[in-house]
Chains A and B, each alone.
Chain A
């Protein structure tokens, strides 16, 4: 009985972590800047590749993963300042530019590094409980997802940077007229979003095959979680991930993976039908 419950929780935690880690970077950039980053998957890929490089160069895995996060974050900051900043008042153009960047990144990686790359074995081993096998690394991913949610919350609610970023999001002109350096806020926010995407890649790098198109693996879950969560990352992402993870885990257990995936997408259609502004829009309305 306990083993069954734990097995369910473990499956849930696995899906939940995947949703949260996939979506975090996309959600921050969309929620704080209103930009739909179509290169999100490529930032994830970048994190995974940088991690793998650093690992093969001899760094211990956690340090290599930190390299993946930093690499994606720095690239994000540079791209924001050069290509994305001029397009703030043109959301469709920024969508197109990030999409193009994603294509360039994928094809560039393919040309330079080939169609696949030697991976990293999943660390951490496993344990058995009542006939089920569990991976310790999957539990670490769950903990990491919780940490990411806490990090985003604390960053935007409890730090100066977070207050300036939210002020800029709500009224960029007014924030600037009070002394907020708007460009710096945008560059850092985009950089943090890119770094979070990099973290996703860094954390999943040891669990999957490294191919240039690997970012696509995360894209559906990332977008689905952001859409269901709504515009406010601080309010929406966690409940969205919980709701979707419960749906998928339950259907996976009852009818298998395929129905889990179908059920997830149906749940999304249903939720945005009932809550057009996602969980955060609904929660914000209830609060006021």
Chain B
């Protein structure tokens, strides 16, 4: 599936205050790939995602996206270049309606494509049904659909998903996995997801990168992502 590289991270370091968290991340993702970042709690997966979208500055190292260096761009510029970010914990805007939440996401693909509202409503009919409801009053699974829809509405080229299965009931997780696959198959969207749930990893990932103490220490290559190989790395 992998064509030319869409995301390339080299020697990425980042820290909270004085505590170094990322200690030289190197990774490369091809256009249209679905790659899972796996690793135990607290190894720095979320920190890496925040660094890639630009919510945390890199102390050193580079991030290249679609052939251009984005390391020092603010998060809003990166988003408008076509990166859709779905954070751990979803972070929907609680006192805004579903529809208003989606409208914020339209900025991602702004000026390149019209908002993919119909597509989002087709994939997540619940959002259409609840479009006037305040996002904060929805269930975890519904909020996760909204957070994904909010990124998808701007037709991103790269999706950064942080633990989409966390706190979501299994049937909804399966549905979300189907949607993400279909998005990639139909639009060639590249997906980088952080995940600890074995079923989700097996259902989605074509390749896994194993993270440990702020570094990528191993890789499960395409074709080798199996229950055994993933489980071995999740339990290190």
Surface stretch bound by A, among B19-27, B36-44, B96-104: B96-104
Segment 2-60 of B: residues with Cβ below 8 Å from A: 53-55
Tell me which residues across on chain A come within 8 A of B94, comparing CB atoms.
170
Surface stretch bound by A, among B61-69, B74-82, B122-130, B204-212: B74-82
Tell me which residues across on chain B come within 8 A of A166, comparing CB atoms.
93, 95-96, 100
B107, A180: Cβ atoms under 8 Å? Answer: yes
Segment 101-133 of B: residues with Cβ below 8 Å from A: 101, 103-105, 107-108, 110
A279 at interface, CB cutoff 8 A = no
B54, B104, B136: which contacts A175 (Cβ < 8 A)? B104
Segment 140-192 of A: residues with Cβ below 8 Å from B: 160, 163-164, 166-167, 170-171, 173-182
Q: Mark B146-165, 1 if CB is under 8 A from A, else 0.
A: 00001100100000000000
Known: A166-B95, A170-B94, A171-B93. A177 touches B79 (CB 8 A): yes
A167, B93: Cβ atoms under 8 Å? Answer: yes
A176, B76: Cβ atoms under 8 Å? Answer: yes
B96, A174: Cβ atoms under 8 Å? Answer: no
A288 at interface, CB cutoff 8 A = yes
Segment 178-201 of B: residues with Cβ below 8 Å from A: none
Known: A174-B87, A176-B76, A177-B79. A167 touches B55 (CB 8 A): no
Considering the complex, give the chain B residue whose CB is closest to the CB of A288.
B137
Q: How far is the CB of A246 from chain B (nearest CB, A)?
A: 28
Tell me which residues across on chain B come within 8 A of A170, comparing CB atoms.
93-96
Q: How far is the CB of A206 from chain B (nearest CB, A)?
A: 39
Tell me which residues across on chain B come within 8 A of A176, comparing CB atoms.
55, 74-76, 79
Known: A160-B103, A163-B103, A171-B91. A178 touches B108 (CB 8 A): yes
Tell me which residues across on chain A come within 8 A of B103, comparing CB atoms.
160, 163
Q: How far is the CB of B142 from chain A (nearest CB, A)?
A: 16
Q: How far is the CB of A279 from chain B (nearest CB, A)?
A: 16
Known: A178-B105, A179-B108, A179-B154. A163 touches B76 (CB 8 A): no
Cα distance A276–B229 when bound, in Å? 56
The 3 closest A-B pairs by CB, nearest first: A179-B107, A179-B79, A174-B91
Residues of A within 8 A of B (CB): 160, 163-164, 166-167, 170-171, 173-182, 284, 288
A-B contact pairs, 27 of them (CB 8 A): A163-B96, A163-B103, A166-B93, A166-B96, A167-B93, A167-B96, A167-B100, A167-B101, A170-B95, A173-B55, A174-B87, A175-B93, A176-B55, A177-B55, A177-B76, A177-B79, A177-B85, A178-B76, A178-B79, A178-B85, A178-B104, A178-B105, A178-B107, A180-B107, A182-B76, A288-B136, A288-B137
